[in-house]
Each structure stands twice: as C-alpha cells, then as structure tokens.
Amino acid sequence: MVKWEQKIIGDLLLLLHGVLLAVVLNQLASLYFFRLDLTEERRYSIKQPTRDLLQHLDEEVYVDVFLEGDLNAEFRRLQKAIRETLDEFRVYSGNKVTYRFSDPAAAKGQQAQREFMSDLVSRGIKPMNIIDTRDGQRTERIVFPGAVVSAGGMQVGVMLLKDQIAQGSQEDLNRAVEGVEFELANAILQVTGTSRKRVGFVSGHGELDSMQVASFRESLMALYDVNLKTPLTKKNVSAMDVLIIARPRLRFSEQEKYVLDQYVMRGGKLLMLLDPVSASMDSVSSDNYIALPYRLGLENLLFQYGVRVNEDLVQDRVSLRYPVVTGEVSGKPQVTAMDWLYYPLINSYAATPITRNLDATALRFASSIDSVKATGIRKTPLLFSSSYARRVNAPVRININDLRKEINPENFSSGPFALGYLLEGKFVSLFRNRFAPENADTTGNRKQGVYTRMIVVADGDLARNEINRRTGQPVDLGFDSMNGHTYANKDLLLNMIAYLVDEAGLISARTREVKVRPLDKEKIRNSRVQWQVTNLVLPVLLVLLLGGVKYYTRKRKFGQITTVPHG
C-alpha cells in the first residue's frame, strides 16, 4: 500500500532533480560550444578554414540576400540553404555576421525598382527568369539569386546561382547549394582581408596583352594585388606569391629560366598557360597555312618538373561551333555555325576543389600533356578532352574549309587526352647538376625546393577574352557570341589561383557534397492510397492503444490504495 504523502514528496524530489540537471547541463553547454550534424554528407557543417575566418573577424559583416518573394520549390530550397549557412556563420562568428533577405521587386514604384535592379547588376548580380507552371497557369518572374556582402565600408556582390544553371533543374540547383559556403566565405574574405596575396603576369615574351586579359585581370583585382607586367628578374618575382605565364610567343633565355627555377625552389607558385603550336584563326583562311611548333625554351624545365607539353593539336568532336559562309541567297551570304574540331569543349575534370561543379570550359587550339617521371611530385590531370578526340602532330595544315568536310567517327576514338596538370611537391632544380647561366644571381640558390604547387595548361587562350569589334571593349572571359553562353574559363582560372595561394584555405569548401535523393514518383503514384490510410488511421490506433495500456497500468498500480485513518 502506498501513502499519498510519500508519493507527493517523491514526485517533488524527482521534479527538483530534473530541474537541477537541466540547469547544470545548460551551464556546461554555455562553457563548451559544440554542434551536432547527423547527416551522412555533413550538409549542415562548415569547413574548418571557414570557421577560422569567422572566429577571427574584427568587424561586423552584413549580408543582404536578394533571393526572396514568390519562388518555386527549387529556388526555395536554395533560399533555405543560404539561410541555414548564414545561421552557421552567425553562430561561429559570435554574432558578427548578420543578414537579411529582401525582394528587389518589392521596391515601391517602377523607377525605384529599376534603380535598385540596375545597382545589383553593376555589382555583378545578374537577374534570372523563373518560369513555373502552377495549377495549369504559366508564370514568369525575375529573381536576383545573389547577395551583397559589406564590412568596414567595402562591399562586394556575389552570385549564388551561376549563369549555366539558370534553368533551375534539381541537379543544377544542387550544385549551387553545394557552393553557398564557399561563395559567401570568399566574399567575406574579400571585404575583411587585410593582407592580400600578390599575383604577377610575366612579361617580355609576347604574352597576352592587357586588353586580352582584361576580364580575368578585373576579377583577380577584387581578390589580389595584381602586377600586369612582371619581368623575369629575381627582384621582381620574389615579391610575387603567384606568377602567371599567359600564352608566351618568344623564347625564354637561360637566365630567365634560372630565375623561374629558383622562384619555384623557394616555394613560389606558377600558373603556366602555354601554346606549343602556333595556330591562329587569323591565318586559317589561307590555303597554305601550316601551324608550326613554338620553341619557348621551357621544355626541359617542365620535363624536370614532371610533364611534357606535346607539339600537337587536339581535335575533338565535342567542340565549339564556328560561323562559316555556306552559300548565298539573293546576293546575301548564308552563315552557318559548324563544329570546329580545334576548339574542344571541356566537360571532363578531375575530382579536385579546383574543378568541382564547373560548367564546360572553352579551349582553342589546345595540345595534349604527358606525365613523366619526377620523384616526389604528385601529378593530377585536371582537364580532359572527350573520348571522341585525336591528336594531330605539328606541323599541322589548318584550313577553315575543313569545317565542311565529312567526319569519319572511327578516326576520333583515341581520347581522352589530358590538357592540364596540377603538380605538387618538392621540385628538384633544373640546374642541380648544371652550371648557373652566365651573369645569373646565384645568391641563396637551391638545388632542392620546398613544398609548392604549379599548374600547367596546354592552351594559352584559356585566359584570353574576346574584343567586341563594334565597341573595341573586352567581353566577359568565356563568352561565346555564337550561342550567347558564358563558359567557365574565368571560374576555372580563379579556382586555380585560389588553390595555389591558399593551400588549406577556403577553396576546400568547394568539396562539399549534398546528395540529391529524389522520390520515386511512380512508386508514390501506385501506393498513394495505402500511405494516406496508414498516415490517417495508424496514429489514431496508436493513441487508443497507448491510452488503454496506461489506463490498465494505473488501475493495477493504484486500484488497491487505502488510506490510513488518523487518530
């Protein structure tokens, strides 16, 4: 038999212990910060370099996101991912990151809307047209899937949904979700970073001029200090964190090779965009045009480091199209865009942070690269032609009329070919067992280098933007006027530079993977009624069952309670 007084006291003590335990746990949680992410791909966790950036912020950071309003399901998913990521940023920054969502279309008055939207476009946030069908009605809406990040008087715009994925398919939007952390963290670094890396374009060998790299240079200048003309002297290169060699045409001297070699030995980073063959569209209309090999003098240096850039051109059936006159109607030439085999369209990449989730990259007169033995060097092929490709050794006769020729598919089956390589490790000097060139500054020269990285791509035109013939102004790097599409040349190059200058930095966030787990629509359709009945009836039965069990248990436990008379 149970006394009511004893049971009440026991219940009160149990309640008191529960409250005390909750208070203790709350105090411990305030002292030891942690967050749990139980998802398989760690989708709600941010990378350690991003945490380090946020935890060391010295000033407030404000993020204005413009993906708001009446959105379809796919864009609401992206909106949710952005909000969740910014919530994590706020927590790890100690509330130094604040954000808000707004809709540019909600501005009062058409004039105010136009001014607001024009300002966003000037910051690089481009509008996208959402086409959706609801209840049989087709709707269209303009959205700006981007954000403006500001701190300390500086502002930078960031696109959170790239042009190539504007259609909003589930797979493509998933790529945008995966890239939210990197894009936002990189923007925060731009507005808060105090020490900027230095990037120099090597000059003096007929490299791409300022107009030809204008688009790439402009994007670089938002992130780094850029020197467009860097002669190859020890004093000049020692001040640079990365050297870019962009499509040289003239031979490098032995003294210049020595400067490059020692720059690498001391840990300098190189991005080499090389054309081993002198192919040019300016000359292909000539019947007698032959593309000859360039002899840049860098062949033995690259061989020492672990790669050989071949004196050939890659023809690929997966290629860009080029306009050619195919006839005449009423005295007017008829222009048709046809596949130009010498302009490979790259869709195959290595699984690295540099190339993850990239759109196709457009190359022009690219060559193949082979790997050769180099002890202690890790070599990763970054770019590949398609399988439907072949190599043509230089000298090569090239004529624009080749566009009209029928292609025999059997001749294009020897691919894929590597067109770019990432090299990492402690490189051995080319001059280890050789005398230094005459008049070379040998002060502090090294035979064995420290750990560093370099990237070699066998296409100097990767960084070259086109020039608008009407205005004389450079167009966006990677833009193809034939289809109005902008390929990922600029993104690829910026990722390469980021990887070179920041070995364990924010670019690691590009490895984030969020798996798409689509429902089986056919299975849903066939078992719809079954699951509807289950969801409606089963909860009611469970409640009745639990109620009956609880009633029976209480009846057995308290049915024999008697009271003890007083006195």
**Distance from C-alpha of 333 to C-alpha of 356, rounded to nearest angstrom:** 42
> How far apart are alpha carbons 518 and 524 in whole angstroms?
11
Query: Which residues, 6 or more positions from 200, have their beta carbon under 8 angstroms from its beta carbon?
Result: 226, 227, 230, 236, 237, 239, 240, 242, 243, 244
Which residues, other chains included, contact 487 with Cβ-Cβ below 8 Å and sequence gap of 6+? 164, 345, 359, 360, 361, 362, 478, 479, 480
Residue 369, CA distances (Å) to 202, 391, 418, 462, 495 in order: 22, 11, 6, 15, 20
In the DSSP assignment, the letter for residue 12 is H
CA distance 265 to 451: 8
**What H or E segment, with its residue span, contains residue 291?**
strand 290-291
The structure's pTM equals 0.77
Alpha-carbon span 216 to 49, nearest angstrom? 26
Residues 191, 471: Cα–Cα separation, whole Å = 32
- pLDDT tens digits for range 455-467: 999 999 999 999 8
The pLDDT, as a whole number, for residue 3 is 58
Cα–Cα–Cα angle for 24, 25, 26, nearest 5°?
90
Q: Sheet holding 242-246: strands in order across?
A: 225-230, 198-202, 242-246, 269-273, 448-457, 418-428, 377-384, 348-349
Q: Tell me if residue 480 falls in helix, strand or coil.
A: strand
What is the residue whose two structure tokens read 């912020």? Answer: 57
**pLDDT tens-digit map of 366-398:** 999 999 999 989 999 999 999 999 999 989 888
- What does the pLDDT read at residue 134? 64
Q: What is the pLDDT, as a whole number, of residue 564?
A: 53
pLDDT at 168 (0 to 100) = 45
Rounded to whole angstroms, how far apart are CA atoms 406 and 311?
26
**What is the predicted pLDDT for the residue at 167?**
42
Low-confidence stretches of the chain (pLDDT beneath 50): 1, 165-168, 504
Longest Cα–Cα distance in the chain: 127
pLDDT of residue 166: 37
> Alpha-carbon distance 145 to 130, whole Å?
11
- CATH homologous superfamily, domain 48-192: Glutaredoxin (3.40.30.10)
Q: How far apart are CA 512 and CA 497, in angstroms?
A: 19
Instruction: Measure the CA–CA gap between 28 and 262, rounded to whole angstroms.
Output: 54
CB 63 within 8 A of CB 86: yes
CA distance 319 to 17: 72
* SS3 label, residue 500: helix
